Amino acid sequence: MKSVALHNLGCKVNAYEIENMQQKLQERGYDIVPFDSIADVYIVNTCTVTNIADRKSRQMLHRAKKLNPNAVVVAVGCYVQTGEAQVEKDACIDLAIGNNRKKDIVEILEAFLKNREQEEPADFVSEVIDINHTNEYEEMQLEKTAEHTRAYIKIQDGCNQFCSYCIIPYARGRVRSRKPEDVLQEIRGLAKRGYKEVVITGIHLSSYGMDFIGPNDGDYLEGGKDLRKTAFERAYLISLIEKIAEIDGLERIRLGSLEPRIITGEFVKRLAAIDKVCPHFHLSLQSGCDETLKRMNRHYTAGEYYEKVKLLRQGFENPAITTDVIVGFPQESEEEFEKTKAFLEKVHFFEMHIFKYSRRKGTVADRLPGQLTDAQKTVRSAQLLEMEALHSKEYRSTYLEKEVEILVEEKKEIGGEFYWIGHTKTYVKGAVLATGDITENQLVKGTAKRFLTDEVLLLDIR
């Protein structure tokens, strides 16, 4: 049987999908080999979130063809979906598969390989659907993951938000939600195989269930409809989380990135009642300045966002709140940047992912006047990265001399000693000295005594 090498670029949803593709190929008997080795088939699960992501996708596809010029090089996913014409012109790509076709990877690949045996085989084959006009959720089921303790579970695809800087709605299409029974079946199987933690993820996770109601029921996040029940009021996401929590063997439920508007008193109350839920919340912000948020087409103000943070801090003890911030968005003045900086200081996040605005062809923001220079973005990014490091250390310090519990994930040598490393429910890294009675995928409690490294707390388990 032929050998296949796979490489993933991009988000956790992509990571989930490539593990499914690998699983399907293995079930059919293909030999999975490392990407930097000689293979018969190379599959690159691409990303298109920025122009840089497009370039990285092309680089990996070209690297594959260079490794073995006779191999079948397969481009899969978002870059294919948004750059179909460019992909077709790329001589390094033999087979292109768009989104919502990844579940069919084996059948598509084998049809292509069979075609190659013909007298006049096709030089290039494209399998791309009109992603913006499909209501089908691409169902996949994972039996195991590359990680042995934590499994990422995709429950939703697509996005209807159309932020002015983002190409993803065009790459992933409109919101499509997975059936609750399929989600529960997959997690039950993983829990039986010993996985203790699941991370619930999607392209726009908070939209889960929006497509379960009629198309004229309005924006599910706005709520307040007089005569119609919106998806928000039906609480599809929190209801699914409550059902997941009932699964035996599962110890932790972690949520992917959330839309701030889904955070309400009722949502927090129900979430806080679930012991298995990790009090670690990623609320994407992007800017702390209302004028910038408006140009980004975000659907909240900085003040509204802060109210959501307060609700989480009222509902949970010392929750870890993380976020994304874009610096140097078109027309961002020094005054606007200072507003964002002051807002970030006020919120005091556990972690912030700081991104310099990157133009993406095909988006509204790419056409806006007042584009900032890379030098301006670099200066602003450096200031926020310095703040992030300080705030992150301050948050970790709140656990010193307190009992914490980590889920052991890997063994590492640090300073000449071997330690088991894991994460707390709030995603703070902790370490314990490696001993014979501690193993991977074990929950271990101890008192955080000091910092082993800048990011890892050392636990005393005596």
Handedness of CA 288, 294, 297, 298 (dihedral sign): positive
Q: pLDDT above 90 covers what percent of the chain?
A: 89
Q: Among 417, 416, 437, 414, which Cα is nearest to 429's?
A: 414
User: Which phi and psi (to 5°) does residue 109 adopt?
Assistant: -65, -45
The reply to whether CATH 3.40.50.12160 applies to domain 3-129 is yes
| Residue ranges covered by each domain of the chain | 3-129, 150-397, 403-460
Position 228 confidence tier, pLDDT thresholds 50, 70, 90 = very low
Evaluate whether 443 touches 449 at the Cβ level (below 8 Å).
no
- The model's pTM is 0.93
> Tens of pLDDT along 78-89?
999 999 999 999
Tell me the C-alpha distance between 103 and 17, whole Å: 8
Over residues 35-47, mean pLDDT: 97
> Tens of pLDDT along 353-412?
999 999 999 999 999 999 999 999 999 999 999 999 999 999 999 999 999 999 999 999
DSSP reduced 3-state for 242: helix
Residue that is written with structure tokens 């109210």 in the block: 307
Tell me the C-alpha distance between 246 and 188, whole Å: 10
Classify domain 150-397 at the CATH class level.
Answer: alpha beta
> Tens of pLDDT along 272-327?
999 999 999 999 999 999 999 999 999 999 999 999 999 999 999 999 999 999 99
